[in-house]
A = this chain, B = another copy of it.
Amino acid sequence: MSTTISASIIGASGYSGAELMKILLRHKQVKIENLFANSSVGKRVTDLYPWFGGRVDSVYEQYSVDAACTSDIVFVALPSGEAMNMVPELLERGKRVIDLGGDFRFKDVSLYEKYYKHEHKAKNILHQAVFGLPEWNRQQIRSASLVANPGCYATSAILPLAPVLKEGIVQSHGISISSLSGVSGAGRSASVDLSFTEVNESVKAYKVGVHQHAPEIKIALEAISGTTVSLTFVPHLLPITRGIYTSIYAPLAKEVTPGEVLSAFRKHYGSEPFIRISETAIPEIRNVSFTNFLDIGFRIDVDNNQLIILSVIDNLIKGAAGQAVQNMNIMFGFNETEGLLS
């Protein structure tokens, strides 16, 4: 297919924005149009990311809806709470939008306001948003105007849990999810807590039981499995730059063999281009670094009647920019792996 579209990025100066640029530069059917930033307006991309030297000569621009509307697709990679100020107008003007932040992931405004701790200002378009998990919502994504790209932790937990919940292998209550993330997940920001010296040679849990991805995981799993789900989610900060390791402990609903668990995964993901499942191998973050893959491994703990599932992603790719491009590929009828396999 030789169609070419143009794309703009709002919030192009952050880590997800930069990662989107890298992927789109490789994409044969996309031309990057505008890069919008905020405090970095007027700077060259290479001032913030010299890595792009010799490849990108662009300057970050002040956002304007008119400039954004010259593109076929607009990616929004802003901190939560900011996308909702821009997206309504973009939709009104007929643009298709993929939001990498959290503003459109919940239909329930009160839940959003509880976890994100600010008012939602674009409630009336929430119903239009499609949760951008290609493996489960491919059909709706195809025709969506607004895709809410899933959170990084959420992606790493929903995808491994969904098949075994849907197939009745594990119970929908008493699930524990222990996730470990690299520091890039916290974005590009000045903070003592994220300084090298404070993070290096250490680990800490944070937002224990109150992280905004917990309800995102719960709601997505409920939608997929059709049952009420309750789970405990604990994120931890690790001294690595990229990657998420998610270890899931789910009570078994029945006796199963490893082969049956594998079958459940294969049934749903057997033809998925970006999910790799193994009955024997244990996932490692480095196996998915700089890729759009999610790897799944598992073990059955008969003594304690639990299924242990382990999953890994690159938080900036399958957990953000890569999944966004995967969604874009679906929306525009491109090959779903275009730009995502090198």
Contact = CB atoms under 8 A, between A and B. Distances in A.
A178 interface: yes
A231 interface: yes
A118 interface: no
A205 to B, nearest CB: 5
Interface residues of A, number: 80
A249 B251 CA distance: 12
Interface stretch (A58-66, A88-96, A131-139, A182-190): A182-190
Contacts of A297: 205
Interface in A181-230: 183-184, 188-192, 194-206, 208-209, 230
A285 B188 contact: no
B208 A276 contact: no
Contacts of A202: 240, 243, 284-286, 289
Contact of A304 (B55, B201, B232, B239): B232
A57 interface: no
A201 B282 contact: no
Interface string A38-64: 000000000000110111000000000
A101 to B, nearest CB: 19
Interface stretch (A29-37, A108-116, A120-128, A305-313): A305-313
Interface of A: 15, 25-26, 50-51, 53-55, 173-176, 178, 180, 183-184, 188-192, 194-206, 208-209, 230-232, 234, 236, 238-243, 245, 247, 249, 251, 273-274, 276, 281-291, 293, 295, 297, 299-301, 303-306, 308, 310, 312, 341-342
